[in-house]
Amino acid sequence: MGTLDEDDAIARERVGTVLDDKWSLEGLLGVGGMAAVYAGRHRNGARAAIKVLHPMLARNAEVRERFRREAYAANKVEHRGVVKVLDDDVVASGPDSGLAYLVMERLEGESLQDRLERGELLGERALLELARAVLEVLEVAHASGVVHRDLKPENLYFARDDKGETTVKVLDFGLARLAEAQAITSYGLALGTPSFMSPEQASGRTDAIDGRTDLFSLAATCFRLRTGKRLHEADDAVELVKKMGRMPAPAIRSVASDVSKPFARVIDKALQFERDDRYESAAAMRADVERALAELEAEERPAPPSSRQRPPALSQRPPMPSQRPPAPSKGPPAEPPAPSAPREATIELSGSDLEPQPAYGIDESIRIPKRRSILPWLLLLVLGGLGVLAWRNPDRVRDTWTSVAAWWAARSNATDVDAGTAPSASSAASSAPEAGVAPRPHNPASHRPPPPKPPVPAPSTGR
């Protein structure tokens, strides 16, 4: 197998030649690890895409046969989102003798790889809609026993037809089977695009590859396009493949904190390290994608004006004339222009703005009300005044509390005598303050001047 530079050079030299005496190769559309793709025109005028196996691989008769046989996997998938193989052949003579090629429908448009190279990051809704379209194709493919094994931005294509309508196409169905078999023979490791390999594929466990492998690669593609980063970073392809086979994918919100919860739920589920922890099928993942789209739409939908602009109790009453904007003419005031609601929803009610930030622990249940009682502030002011008074004039405070304590003791004695009992020594001792120590304040009004000592009434002889 030649190097990428060698394959690319050979592919470019072939532009402008005629393949197998019938296909003019008018332009190079792309070069991959297994083949080069050209814009071709048949001698009868028909246009198509011609995929030519690299010469180093084409020398092996077994590889050529597998190339042709595996290419027909795409034709097993009856879905408009799959590129059809129209013909296949091997050059019988001439300088290209033994060269295998496929004839496929030619597409007009661009791939996700093109957008990625331009630095374009798709929004979450656009990515979920893309995933839904791809999952519809995967449902049919998996039901037909076909696993793609090489989903990546380069193989997801936005095709435009003559009417201007866009259809998502999945390219290179079945070719990943050939790539994997060749890599295992040569290196003992599954070949593919390392950034989008599932753990079982990256570790070479071919018996563990099934439809859930495609779900992982699709989620890895969405992860890359949403965050602009790969699942794992490495200095070279070999190290990256090892990480993909041994390390779980990071949660997407740990890489981009502004990702919405519905989008993160779908991506994180499909990127689980163990197959059994992912979605069980493409249909199950598509159902969750549709649920996530509905949740994002609900978050972006503006709230009714009555619930956002006035309290519920006032929503049923007609607004006062002063509350209405001045009308340019007589009659009832006009409703706000229709475009204002979508503009407000786009700016203020986007998914990222409505998403709570867990790092701050925000909880609406602890929101401070707008109207509060002033009693706590008055109590705090009184206690503060007492503290200042005690600091600036401690003698006066001590005398005040001594007088209050004496008055209280005398009042208690009067009550006891009136009831026919005398106060005990223990109660008198407990109620009297210690010498030189001011009693602890117990009444906020203790800062008043000491009252005159009341006279002790004479003992009563009975009622």
Among 104, 138, 160, where does a domain finish?
104
- Among 57, 65, 62, CA closest to 32: 57
- Helix 261-270 × helix 211-227 angle, to 10°: 140
* 213: Cα separation from own chain's centroid: 21
Do 209 and 259 fall into the same domain? yes
CA 166 – CA 109 distance, rounded (Å):
8
Predicted local confidence at residue 413, as pLDDT: 67
- Range with lowest mean pLDDT among 8-12, 140-144, 385-389, 416-420: 416-420
Q: Is the dihedral of CA 215, 220, 221, 225 positive or negative?
A: positive
In a domain, 317, yes or no: no
Tokens of 317: 């009453």
Do 184 and 62 fall into the same domain? no
Do 280 and 159 fall into the same domain? yes
Tokens of 405: 């304590």
Residue 133 sits in which domain range? Answer: 109-299
CA 286 – CA 138 distance, rounded (Å):
10
Predicted local confidence at residue 417, as pLDDT: 52
Do 44 and 151 fall into the same domain? no
Q: What average pLDDT does the segment 257-276 reach?
A: 97
Tell me: pLDDT of 416 over 50.
Answer: yes
Among 104, 128, 163, where does a domain finish?
104
Predicted local confidence at residue 37, as pLDDT: 93
The CA distances from residue 75 to 79, 81, 166, 182, 248, in Å, are: 9, 11, 21, 22, 34
Predicted local confidence at residue 360, as pLDDT: 32
Tell me: pLDDT of 270 over 90.
Answer: yes
Give the number of other Cβ atoms within 10 Å of residue 31's Cβ: 19
Kindly report the pTM of this predicted structure: 0.61
Do 75 and 146 fall into the same domain? no
Mark whether 150 is an active-site residue: yes
Residue pair 406/453 in contact (Cβ under 8 Å)? The answer is yes
**Of 367 and 418, the one with more pLDDT:** 418
CA 389 – CA 383 distance, rounded (Å):
10
- pLDDT tens track for 279-304: 999 999 999 999 999 999 998 777 66
Name the percent of the chain lying above pLDDT 90.
37
- Among 137, 287, 273, 282, CA closest to 208: 273
Do 138 and 96 fall into the same domain? no
* Tally of structural domains, the chain: 3
Q: How big, in percent rounded to 5, are the helix, strand and coil portions of the chain?
A: 50, 10, 40
**Which domain CATH number covers 71?**
3.30.200.20
Name the percent of the chain lying above pLDDT 70.
64
Query: pLDDT category, 174, cuts 50, 70, 90?
Result: low
In a domain, 462, yes or no: yes
Q: What average pLDDT does the segment 38-43 reach?
A: 96
Do 122 and 154 fall into the same domain? yes
Q: What average pLDDT does the segment 151-158 reach?
A: 92
Q: What average pLDDT does the segment 4-26 reach?
A: 89
In a domain, 377, yes or no: no
- pLDDT tens track for 363-410: 232 232 334 556 666 677 777 777 776 677 767 667 766 776 776 677
Do 157 and 273 fall into the same domain? yes
**Of 431 and 449, the one with more pLDDT:** 449
- Among 242, 105, 99, 98, CA closest to 173: 105
Do 57 and 205 fall into the same domain? no
Residue of 150, 214, 268, 288 marked active site: 150
Among 80, 104, 128, where does a domain finish?
104
